[in-house]
Structure 1
Amino acid sequence: MIKMAYIPIGVPTFDLEAAQIQFDDSVKVLREISEDVLVPEKPLLTLNDLKAYLGSISPDFIVLQNLTFANSAYAQMVVQHINCPVILWTLKEPVVDGTRLRLNSLTGAYSAANLFHQMGRTDFQYVIGSPKEEEVKKTLNAAYKAAEMKYKLKSLQVASIGHTPQGFGFGAALDSDLARVFGSTLHFVEARELMDKARKMKDEDATHEKNESERKMKNIQLLPEENVLSHHKLYKAYKDYIEANGIKAIASRCWPDYFVDYGTPVCGVLGLLNDNKIAAACEADIYGAVTMFIGMELSEQPVFFGDPVSLNVEENSITYWHCGTAACSLAREDLGPETGVHPNRKIGPTMEFGCKPCEEATIFRVGRKPDGSFRFFIANGEALDKPKQFYGTSVVVKTKQNAKQIVENSVQEGWEPHFAVIYKDVKQELEMLAKLLKIEICNY
């Protein structure tokens, strides 16, 4: 959890009684968002008061509020003292009655925003409205979540387990790119190293993994015993590597190695990791793993990861599918997280189910452009109540915008073929995160 600081600035020549009411209401709202919020004893109505307060805090996120009008010197002092994400909050004028201007918060916001731009701080967020407005609360919370997400990305350890197959280079990444744009650290390990560790294990070494698999993966015991035991050991090898290195997201090699060299797919392993909120992308898609991590953290639950494979124009829906790496907790309740074999290689275990419905879903992708810059694909929709569409795992999303146009435009614009379906509407948080990271926003 990041530390938030409330900075209510103003001058004493406006209506201080009205300002105090706004101050008290604002504190209540911010404490609903986070218990760890720094609040001054009283409104900061002089530069000296502001300077003293700034010297006493070290926040990760700032709510800079024009409690009344304040000239740009106040904003300049904030920028010079603290470098972290900021949301600028303008209060609505409480009374319009032909008499005194009580707060003049909006003019103060223009002064502050102009100063931010002049000093190169164009990454600030903005909200206008009273503390009691639901839209204001929603925007403040989204800004906090975006700032928290940026903070989490700075400490993110990502692992590439093996390299991308031929023709899947869209998932490859440079460690310098991840560090420069997201602040994240990229680890590399060969897939054969983890396969070798799994082969050398005794059956009893993976007892805990066996118990978890049997508890979560429906009908896994019906598959060949050799494959099931190999799955348990591979899961143990992956978990050991992840825990030893503090990994929160992995991009794993899958075909052909695990079928040909190891004899058992990694699909079920990735599904269990996803279920435990370790973002696990297949086909060694590193930016896909980062995509999943962001979606998991913002929604606080596993996300679906897969290819767009089918368009239904009449239903205005897109089907997302993959061979069988979805988290067990995403399975429909009627059949549960069934287990089967890979649709092409006929070896298991893989996950085999249609995903549960969700009224508000977000389709998301961290994309890398040919010039090395990044962009966010963001689309909203509803995960429909649909059975499994093909062998493997699938989810059908009815999009808010025209599904056919989304497909046509995203193909024309060269997006990668892997997307995350997030089980929550996090569009606003993603847009704010993109602004903080200076990444292009592409809404579909």
Structure 2
Amino acid sequence: MLNIPKVKLGIVAVSRDCFPVQLSERRRAAIVASCKEKGIEIFEAKTAVENEKDVLKALDEVNAAGVNALVVYLGNFGPEGPETMLGQKFNGPAMYVGASEETGKDLIDGRGDAYCGILNASYNLDLRHLRPYIPEYPVGTDTEISDMIADFENIARVVLGLSKLKVMSFGPRPQDFLACNAPIKPLYDLGIEIMENSELDLFASFNEHAGDERIPAIVKEMEEELGTGNKYPGILPRLAQYEITLLDWAEANKGASEYVVFANKCWPSFQTQFGFVPCYVNSRLTGRGIPVACETDIYGAVTEYIITCATQNPPTLLDINNTVPKDMYDENSKAFEGYKLTDLFMGFHCGNTAKACMKYAAMDFQRIMHRGLEPDKEPDITRGTLEGAIKPGEITLFRLQSTAGATLRSYIAEGEVIDVDPKSFGSIGIFAVNEMGRFYRHILVGKRYPHHAGIAFKHTGKVLFAVMKMLGIEDVGFNQPANMLYKDENPFK
């Protein structure tokens, strides 16, 4: 994937001076060996931190090695001051974990007490206003710790990406479609840069790319990708021109940032001026790691980028759109087994989902826009969608959003796409999430979330939840089980 950070992990062992330092060093080496067996690359700093001078030595080691995500490992109780100073002075995300005891046959000189040391570390981390990643159960054997490090690698990739991200938007929200609009100040608080532009800026740049010598090569790429689904080949040169326009804009304007996403207005005047709908181009760039959110959804673009970094796979942005009809539910009872009708919904958008995430897909036209813009003629300016069924399998619903009062919130819910024909248009699929009906009412509706949901094509709730906590987002909603009432849920329903 393009446009995402490369994580360089490093591990530093710490040791309280009244414990044998060799205990931490030996346990650290075992973790590195376990990581190697699992294909996890990690730099092993040889300095074991016992005091503040050791902190400086260890930092010199990891910085010289290019480490940008640090595992602080309590191989024994650990020195709470130096070990938390290490995280404070390290310029990147950090993780704190400790060693579990290895055998009942060696609990005299071989006992490390890291179980106790993590408690002291947590207090000192709070004194320093630090938010490192601390796993749900942060002590373990070498193999257990290496599994935690694998999660941390994905978490760190998101944190690093957001710290060097620029959102480029084009155009304001339409008056009657404000649902995705929200204050952008909280994004600056996360270290994200935002560059808001006029649609005229985009249109002018697009026109300047007319006849660009790169257009034929992009058209050929599109033809190869679409294959037999290339229903409207005549629109491809316009789409290729637009794709080049966005890529050139990103390169020319990312400035001090390293990574970019787009949030672009795509209707109602886009079609009449540009002469197409941009959905297929949005899908292609998102599939390469450069999310392009439609409808000037800035938080949607950031949401997609978080998913991209967490999974290293393309995301999509879909409307939580419509219910599944009762007759469709009854006719496919075996496929929906284990789910209530209210656990189901259809996720839809015009045609912005990457082809790799589709069961089948073809170039088509946007039917809703066609009704209004060119109802009595063959599609022309409404061509450009990628339509078809979204592939079945695991998904995670996720969104980062600001309230009107500029407070960040998030939600996470794991589920799946069911392999049943949705019998409709657009990029669309039938989604199943346990207790979706209650989640819809008490999180999505109750907390005023917009209709756009980020979709990860795997279960990645554990990573996304940890990221939200590292970013300081306290309100993270999820699909609570039936025996767990939401705060405002009516117990007498």
Equivalent residue letter for 1:111: N
Q: Does structure 1 residue 272 correspond to structure 2 residue 284?
A: yes
Query: Which range moved further: 318-327 or 98-107?
Result: 98-107
Is 1:434 matched with 2:468?
yes
Aligned to 2:220: 211
C-alpha distance in structure 2 between counterparts of 1:80 and 1:233, whole Å: 47
Shift of 1:45: 4.7
1:321 aligns with 2:321: no
Listed as ranges, the matches of 1:77-92 within 5 Å are 77-79=85-87, 81-82=89-90, 84-92=92-100
Quickly say closer, same or farther: Cα 1:205–1:13, change in 2 above 3 A: closer
For 2:224 and 2:233, locate their aligned partners in 1 and report how far apart those are by CA, in whole Å: 17
Amino acid aligned to 1:293: Y
**More displaced, 307-316 or 254-263?**
307-316
Aligned to 2:390: 355
CA distance in structure 1 between the aligned counterparts of 2:358 and 2:458, rounded to whole angstroms: 16
Contact 1:376–1:442 (Cα < 8 Å) also in 2: yes
CA 1:99 to 1:161, structure 2 compared with 1: closer, same or farther past 3 Å? Answer: closer
User: Is it true that 1:299 corresponds to 2:334 in the alignment?
Assistant: no
TM-score by length of 2: 0.80
Q: Kindly indicate whether residue 102 of structure 2 is the aligned counterpart of residue 94 of structure 1.
A: yes
> Would the alpha carbon gap of residues 172 and 191 (structure 1) be closer, same or farther in structure 2, given more than 3 Å must change?
same
DSSP-derived class of the 2:368 partner:
coil
SS in 2 for 1:248: strand
Amino acid paired to 1:271: S
Give the drift of 1:412: 1.7
CA distance 1:163–1:112, change in 2 (3 Å)? same
Counterparts of 1:363 and 1:56, CA distance in 2: 40
Q: Within 5 A, what are the aligned runs for 1:361-380?
A: 361-380=395-414
Match for residue 154 of structure 2 among 115, 128, 145:
145
3-state SS, counterpart of residue 301 of structure 2: helix
Confirm whether residue 425 of structure 1 aligns to residue 431 of structure 2: no
Q: AA paired with 1:366?
A: L
Report whether the alignment pairs 1:233 with 2:233: no
Structure 1 distance, partners of 2:61, 2:106, is 41
Rounded to whole Å, the distance in 2 between the matches of 1:213 and 1:24 is: 49
Alpha-carbon shift at residue 172 of structure 1 (Å):
3.6
Whole-Å separation in 2 of the counterparts to 1:15 and 1:177: 46
**Deviation sequence 1:247-280 (CA, Å, 0-9, x none):** 6311111111122333321222212222322101
Question: Structure 1 residues 83 and 326, CA, compared in 2 at 3 Å: closer, same or farther?
Answer: closer
Report if aligned partners of 1:27, 1:39 keep a CA contact under 8 Å in 2: no
For 2:214 and 2:54, how far apart are their aligned partners in 1? 62
CA deviation after TM superposition for structure 1 residue 178, in Å = 2.3
Name the SS of the counterpart of 2:319 in structure 1: strand
Question: Paired residue for 2:260, among 239, 243, 248?
Answer: 248
Alpha-carbon distance between aligned partners in 2 of 1:241 and 1:121, rounded to the nearest angstrom: 36
Q: Which residue of 2 aligns with 1:202?
A: 211
Provide, for residues 71-120 of structure 1, a one-character-per-residue CA deviation record: whole Å limited to 9, x for no partner: 42333542554354322212111123595262111122122112112232
Is 1:131 matched with 2:142?
yes
Residue 340 of structure 1 is matched in structure 2 by 364
1:69-84 to 2 correspondences below 5 Å:
69-79=77-87, 81-82=89-90, 84=92
Specify whether residues 386 and 82 from structure 1 end up closer, same or farther in structure 2 by C-alpha distance, changes over 3 A only.
same
How far did 1:130 drift?
A: 0.8
Q: For the Cα contact (< 8 Å) 2:315–2:456, is it kept in 1?
A: yes
**Aligned-pair RMSD on alpha carbons?**
2.7
Give structure 1 stretches of 5+ with no counterpart.
none
2:47 maps to 1:23 = no
User: Could you tell me the percent identity over the aligned residues?
Assistant: 21
Distance in 2 (alpha carbons) for counterparts of 1:212 and 1:250: 22
The answer to whether structure 1 residue 120 and structure 2 residue 147 are counterparts is no
* TM-score, normalisation: structure 1: 0.88
- Classify the secondary structure of the residue corresponding to 1:281: strand
Q: Secondary structure, in 3 states, of the residue corresponding to 1:234?
A: helix
Mapped partners of 1:385, 1:315: distance in 2: 17
1:412 counterpart (446, 462, 470): 446
Shifted more, 94-103 versus 154-163: the winner is 94-103
Q: 1:17 to 1:9 in 2, by over 3 A?
A: closer
Distance 1:80 1:350 in 2: 48
Aligned residues of 1:361 and 1:383 also touching (Cα < 8 A): yes
Q: CA deviation at 1:242?
A: 2.8
The residue aligned with 1:384 is 418
Structure 2 distance, partners of 1:175, 1:376, is 15
